[in-house]
Amino acid sequence: MSVLKPTSYQRPFLKWAGGKFRLLPRILKVLPEGNKLIEPFAGSGALFLNADYDRYLLADINPDLIDVFNHLKKGKTSFIDYCAQYFTDQYNNQKTFYELREHFNQLKPGKERAALFVYFNRHGYNGLCRYNRSGGFNVPFGRYKKPYFPAREMELFAEKAKRAEFRCQSFSKTMAHTRKGNVIYCDPPYLPWSLTANFTSYSQQEFSLDNQRELALEAKKLAKRDVPVVISNHDTDFARLIYAKAKDLQSFPVRRFISCDGAGRNNAQELIVVYRK
């Protein structure tokens, strides 16, 4: 696998909270050689776009995300043109946004719902992807003057997708069907800094501390079968505990943007963990 130069990194077409675009140099540096890259937490696909393997499997439990990827892979230019209709002044206002959001929440999976997911990603507040307990998409209007339509980024994603498979499934199911020659990169919902202070908001992500432990144990098992696993997470005491059996742990500061003003920006410690035989 070749590591691309920073100047040649391809941006994903989706904005994504916790996306790994800025961490690509560090992640690509530790990714082992292999014939297939498997990502049980697909996100925006930033790593997929910039890593060089023969084949790829991207999975996620968000059906809207995987549906968009599959529609783009299948429809290519026609799907991109279909999405473009929503990126005009006619659709960039609060009233229309909320009408489309209500319509989206009534739609079944299909081309229209997939295109609206792209629309919300660029017109919604801060590129968030959030659902209420009933499964309704509930991100508020973002109030952007002219949201960017990522036509070029979608074209490049569709081209790379020729070598990829996209599945809506759990991380455990994705990791269970791996074999020697595969390389796994996991970007799970991150651990909270304080388990006491953040437990409630963290549990709403439906990725519990037991899930975090399960992921670490599965990575250890796969490494013994000669399937290397790389994991990103916050560098916390709990992370150090569950990743204690990893071969390599790298900690470094990452700039976080937690506020609209500069005073609300600070550094957080990131952890990249490598399990290998």
Could you read off the pLDDT of 102-154 as tens digits, one per residue? Answer: 999 999 999 999 999 999 999 999 999 999 999 999 999 999 999 999 999 99
Q: Rounded to whole angstroms, how far apart are CA atoms 187 and 273?
A: 11
Q: What is the pTM of this model?
A: 0.90
Q: Rounded to whole angstroms, how far apart are CA atoms 226 and 223?
A: 5
Residue numbering of the annotated binding site:
16, 20, 60, 187
Residue type, 13: F
Name the segment(s) of the chain with CATH classification 3.40.50.150: 6-61+169-275
**Average pLDDT in the chain:** 91
Could you read off the pLDDT of 75-89 as tens digits, one per residue? Answer: 999 999 999 999 999
Query: Does the domain made of 67-152 have the CATH classification 3.40.50.150?
Result: no
Please enumerate in sequence order all residues whose Cβ is within 8 A of that of 134, keeping only pairs 6 or more positions apart, or say none: none
CATH architecture of 6-61+169-275: 3-Layer(aba) Sandwich (3.40)
| Token pair for 197 | 């202070």
Using alpha carbons only, give the angle 53, 57, 60 rounded to the nearest 5 degrees: 140
Name the segment(s) of the chain with CATH classification 1.10.1020.10: 67-152
Looking at the chain, the whole-number percentage of residues with pLDDT higher than 90 is 84
Do residues 192 and 202 lie in contact, with contact meaning Cβ atoms separated by under 8 Å?
yes
Q: Consecutive 10-residue runs of the chain (277 residues): their mean pLDDT?
A: 62 93 95 97 97 98 97 98 98 98 98 98 96 94 97 98 97 95 96 62 62 97 97 96 96 67 62 96
Residue numbering of the annotated binding site for S-adenosyl-L-methionine:
16, 20, 60, 187
